[in-house]
Chain A
Amino acid sequence: MTIDVRDPVRPAPMLPPVDVAPLRRARLRATGVQAACVAVSLFMALPIVLIGLAAVSSRAALAEFPKPLVPSEFALDSLLSFLRATGTLPALGNSVLAGLYAVFWSLVVGAPAGYALARHAFRGKDAYQMFILLVRALPIVVLSVPLATMFLRLDVYDTVLAVTLVHTALALPTTVLITASIFVSVPADLEEAAQVFGCTRWQAARRVVVPLALPGLAASSIFTFVLSWNELLGATVVTLGHRTLPAQVLTSLAEASVAYRFAGGFALILPALLFIFVMRRYLLNLWGTTLR
């Protein structure tokens, strides 16, 4: 039962009809945004799908035109022959290792630098931030030739370590800047509270700041991994026998068949995609809404 609180003597004033036009406009806009999202996703995903399809098609099916959406017959022989080719598997291993090492070292070295940038005001901070980006302003060729000489002298030439060092150096500027911006968004008083309640500065960083910065750290590590995975020039200059996968594919591509190229392309895409899927979990904030 509801109680009518309207004044029985005075009639209810005439109300204008509910105006639904703004609601309709908002819905229309949402639909537009969704359409745009779909378009962009298609633009990004289509080449990947096509390469994937081509990689699992038989050689005969590759020549077909127009192509069916689902290959008429699955054939893993071109993929398998790519994987069996000499040097592919070791190169794949090298690439994965170099990528993971680069992620590790860029975070170990870069995140503390980002933290310092975020938390402390110090003289020359702006200059430092500019300077750090300068690494990327130098062409990789210019960097890697002297590096190769140095690696030769230090006896690390043609190793995963050499590639890792180059890629870590390349990834550091973005790691520092990305982590700095994420550490800025973690309130300093959380760290202070942790210290009051018994943590050392280090414990406070580990128990409170790092968990809250996880999305940013994940983003930065995806960035580093993909950079390392795709980087070709530096990796080619500092290795000879222990190539990374892109370098390996490139050298063997010229004399390869079309099927082999598709298989190689697919094998190049897959691990990076996998890494992104694994890290995606941390990209979304784990504690419901945004920070705080």
Chain B
Amino acid sequence: MAELILRDLAKTYPGASTRATDDVSLDVADGEFMVLLGPSGCGKTTLLRMVAGLELPDAGQIVIGGKDVTYLEPRRRNLSMVFQSYAVFPNKKVADNIGFGLRMRGVPADGVRRKVEWAADLLQLRPYLDRYPSRLSGGQRQRVAVARAIVMDADILLMDEPLSNLDALLRLNFRAELKKLVAELGTTTLYVTHDQVEALSLGDRVAVLRDGVLVQCGPPGAVYDEPADEFVGGFLGSPPMNFLTGTVCTDEGRPRVDFGGQSVPVPAALSSYHGKRLRLGIRPEAIQLGDGGGLRGELQVLEPLGASALLTTDVCGQTIKVQAPATFRAEPGRRLALRLPVDQCRWYDPETSLLLEVR
């Protein structure tokens, strides 16, 4: 167990015109579960590989447990990793795959066996210990990769989308299992995913990457509630945050933002935007369906989703998605009153897309 510190890590692949990671700095505390979240190709795997020592950074520093490991060989870093492509050894049986790292470390045979069986029970791999990986399904192979990583009791556990090949139900169960397991192990974990639900459910903190740049890092609740920019707001949450563009005007001395005939109040701190455009961000579940006040939207589509209903409404030509109770029924074309609670509204600069602090 150890803390992990990344400082200004920059990496450009040979021949590439853009940086795969661009000055990424991140501190992961001892025992913390840090999730790296971002869309495909944003540099998550690259970052993880640099921590593992499989890729050397062009600039920056990596420190594990107070020791600089920036250019150290992978095997001297005392970490273990679940590869995105599993990287399960096809020439070794499942049991030998799981025990590989321990055996390399010189752990005696019965110690290895005990650990392997422990991990196999945990990941429901017991019936497959004697098989070669070519005779496993993708999800089973992935579990072998996870088992191989957790038996190591390493300082740092790196996981690159370890749940991506499980079916929805198994993933749900496995996610909870994994959370419990890692909490018990207490290992410092860096976990890569592009699944925002996974990120929110697992992480002590979530770090959002975009095009190699770290956009926001914080506890899941904070990242979800106050996305640092429109990208984060749009990436986290399903359906994503709504964004509306309006112009700031003054009505009876109070600043309001006008969407073209309809307007909502704006915090006084933003009155300096008078006459300028402003972006309003609000989560679909934060919008209340009321009898009056707020915005009037025309219902266009109603999608029952089981636990809730998703409404697509039109407000002055802009689309707002609203999460309504499952029992909500209305015909398309009906006009709905949408109340936007002031404390749920987030304000963004249209030029920079950055969150405007209004407190």
A residues in contact (CB < 8 Å) with B? 121, 187, 189-190, 192-200, 203, 208, 211-212, 286-289, 291-292
Nearest CB to that of B81 among chain A residues?
Answer: A196
Known: A197-B80, A208-B89, A289-B134. A192 touches B54 (CB 8 A): yes
B residues in contact (CB < 8 Å) with A? 14, 52-54, 73-75, 79-81, 83, 85, 87, 89-91, 100-101, 104-105, 132, 134-135, 148, 152
**Residues of chain A with a CB closer than 8 A to B81's CB:** 193, 196
Whether the pair A288, B80 counts as a contact (CB closer than 8 A) is no
Whether the pair B87, A198 counts as a contact (CB closer than 8 A) is no
Whether the pair B83, A192 counts as a contact (CB closer than 8 A) is yes
**Pairs A–B under 8 Å by Cβ, sample size 20:** A187-B85, A187-B87, A189-B87, A190-B87, A193-B81, A193-B87, A194-B100, A195-B53, A195-B73, A196-B53, A196-B75, A196-B79, A196-B81, A197-B80, A198-B101, A198-B105, A203-B104, A208-B91, A211-B91, A287-B91
Whether the pair B134, A288 counts as a contact (CB closer than 8 A) is yes
Shortest Cβ gap from A233 to chain B (Å): 40
CA distance A192 to B82 in the complex (A): 11
Known: A196-B79, A196-B81, A212-B91. A287 touches B74 (CB 8 A): no
With a 10 A CB-CB cut-off, give which of B80, B85, B89, B148 has the most chain A CB atoms: B89
**Residues of chain B with a CB closer than 8 A to A286's CB:** 91
**Residues of chain A with a CB closer than 8 A to B14's CB:** 121
* B89 contact from A190, A198, A200, A288, Cβ within 8 A: A190
**Residues of chain A with a CB closer than 8 A to B79's CB:** 196
Shortest Cβ gap from A200 to chain B (Å): 7
Whether the pair B91, A292 counts as a contact (CB closer than 8 A) is no
Shortest Cβ gap from A202 to chain B (Å): 11
* A195 contact from B75, B105, B148, Cβ within 8 A: B75
Known: A200-B75, A288-B132. A195 touches B54 (CB 8 A): yes
**Residues of chain A with a CB closer than 8 A to B101's CB:** 197-198
* A198 contact from B75, B83, B85, B91, Cβ within 8 A: B75
Whether the pair B74, A196 counts as a contact (CB closer than 8 A) is yes
CA distance A203 to B105 in the complex (A): 13
**Residues of chain B with a CB closer than 8 A to A289's CB:** 134
CA distance A211 to B89 in the complex (A): 10
**Residues of chain A with a CB closer than 8 A to B85's CB:** 187, 189
